[in-house]
Structure 1
Amino acid sequence: MKVDLFDFELPQELIALRPVRPRDAARLLVARGDASLEDRGVLDLPGLLEPGDLLVFNDTRVIPAQLEGRRGEAKIGATLHKRIDLRRWQAFIRNAKRLREGDTIAFGGDVEAVAEQRHADGSFTLGFAGDEPVEVMLERAGRMPLPPYIAGKRTTDERDREDYQTMFAREDGAVAAPTAALHFTPRLIEALEARGVKRETLTLHVGAGTFLPVKAEDTDDHAMHAEFGRIEADTAKRLNAAREAGGRLIAVGTTSLRLLESAADADGVIQPFAADTDIFITPGYRFRAADGLMTNFHLPKSTLMMLVSALMGRERMMTVYAHAIAERYRFYSYGDSSLLIP
Structure 2
Amino acid sequence: MRVDEFDFELPEELIALRPARPRDSARMLVIGPGPLALADRGVRDLPDYLREGDLLVFNDTRVIPARLFGRRLRGEAEARIEALLHKREAADQWRAFVRPAKRLRIGETVEFAEGLSAMVAERGEGGEVLLSFSAAGAALDEAIARAGEMPLPPYIARKRPADEADLADYQTLFAREPGAVAAPTAGLHFTPELLAAVEAKGVGTVRLTLHVGAGTFLPVAAETTEAHRMHAEWGEITPDEADAINAARAKGGRIVAVGTTSLRLLESAAGPDGRVRAFRNETDIFITPGYRFRAVDMLMTNFHLPRSTLFMLVSALRGLDEMKRAYAHAVAERYRFYSYGDACLIYRMDAA
TM-score, normalised by the number of residues in structure 1: 0.98
For each residue in 1:146-177, what CA deviation from the matched residue of structure 2 results, as whole angstroms up to 9, or x when unmatched?
A: 00000000111011010000010000100000
Q: Does 1:299 align with 2:300?
A: no
User: 1:261 maps to which residue?
Assistant: 267
SS of aligned partner of 1:84 = strand
Q: Does 1:236 align with 2:236?
A: no
1:109 deviates by: 3.7
User: 1:22 maps to which residue?
Assistant: 22
Query: Residues of 2 paired with 1:11 and 1:119: CA distance?
Result: 34
User: 1:116 maps to which residue?
Assistant: 121
1:119 deviates by: 2.4
Is the contact made by 2:257 and 2:300 (CA closer than 8 Å) also made in structure 1?
Answer: yes
Percent identity of equivalent pairs: 64
Query: Residues of 2 paired with 1:336 and 1:172: CA distance?
Result: 25
SS of aligned partner of 2:90 = coil
For each residue in 1:41-80, what CA deviation from the matched residue of structure 2 results, as whole angstroms up to 9, or x when unmatched?
A: 0000111111111000000000000011000101111000
1:122 deviates by: 3.7
Q: Does 1:103 align with 2:108?
A: yes
SS of aligned partner of 1:234 = helix
1:36 deviates by: 2.5
Q: Does 1:214 align with 2:220?
A: yes
Q: How does 1:191-210 map to 2 (within 5 A)?
A: 191-210=197-216
1:130 deviates by: 3.1
1:104 deviates by: 1.0
User: 1:49 maps to which residue?
Assistant: 50
User: 1:154 maps to which residue?
Assistant: 160
User: 1:310 maps to which residue?
Assistant: 316
Unmatched 5+ residue regions in structure 1?
none
Is the contact made by 1:84 and 1:90 (CA closer than 8 Å) also made in structure 2?
Answer: yes
Q: Does 1:128 align with 2:133?
A: yes
AA aligned to 1:77 is E
Query: Residues of 2 paired with 1:204 and 1:133: CA distance?
Result: 23
AA aligned to 2:108 is D
Q: 1:174 aligns with which of 156, 167, 180?
A: 180
1:110 deviates by: 2.6
SS of aligned partner of 2:344 = strand
User: 2:80 maps to which residue?
Assistant: 75
CA RMSD of aligned residues (A): 0.9
Query: Residues of 2 paired with 1:184 and 1:130: CA distance?
Result: 36
Aligned length: 342
AA aligned to 1:116 is A
Q: 2:327 aligns with which of 318, 321, 326?
A: 321
SS of aligned partner of 1:220 = helix
AA aligned to 2:307 is K
Runs of 4 or more off by more than 4 Å in structure 1?
none
AA aligned to 1:190 is A
Q: 2:171 aligns with which of 146, 151, 165?
A: 165
Query: Residues of 1 paired with 2:208 and 2:192: CA distance?
Result: 19
TM-score, normalised by the number of residues in structure 2: 0.96
Is the contact made by 1:109 and 1:140 (CA closer than 8 Å) also made in structure 2?
Answer: no
Query: Residues of 2 paired with 1:247 and 1:133: CA distance?
Result: 44
Q: 1:246 aligns with which of 245, 252, 267?
A: 252
Query: Residues of 2 paired with 1:206 and 1:165: CA distance?
Result: 12
User: 2:64 maps to which residue?
Assistant: 63
Query: Residues of 2 paired with 1:175 and 1:35: CA distance?
Result: 35
1:138 deviates by: 1.2
Q: 1:142 aligns with which of 148, 155, 159?
A: 148
1:120 deviates by: 4.2
Is the contact made by 2:99 and 2:127 (CA closer than 8 Å) also made in structure 1?
Answer: no
For each residue in 1:173-227, what CA deviation from the matched residue of structure 2 results, as whole angstroms up to 9, or x when unmatched?
A: 0000000000000000110111011110100000000000001111000000000
User: 2:280 maps to which residue?
Assistant: 274
AA aligned to 1:17 is L
For each residue in 1:66-105, what CA deviation from the matched residue of structure 2 results, as whole angstroms up to 9, or x when unmatched?
A: 0110001011110001011111111111111111111111
Query: Residues of 2 paired with 1:292 and 1:133: CA distance?
Result: 41
AA aligned to 2:5 is L
User: 1:13 maps to which residue?
Assistant: 13
User: 1:36 maps to which residue?
Assistant: 37
Q: Does 1:331 align with 2:332?
A: no
Is the contact made by 1:225 and 1:278 (CA closer than 8 Å) also made in structure 2?
Answer: yes
Query: Residues of 1 paired with 2:114 and 2:195: CA distance?
Result: 39
Query: Residues of 2 paired with 1:291 and 1:224: CA distance?
Result: 24
User: 2:3 maps to which residue?
Assistant: 3
1:111 deviates by: 1.5
SS of aligned partner of 1:9 = coil
After superposing the two structures, state which structure 1 stretch, 192-201 or 101-110, moved more.
101-110
For each residue in 1:98-136, what CA deviation from the matched residue of structure 2 results, as whole angstroms up to 9, or x when unmatched?
A: 111111111124321111111245411111113562221
Is the contact made by 1:112 and 1:129 (CA closer than 8 Å) also made in structure 2?
Answer: yes
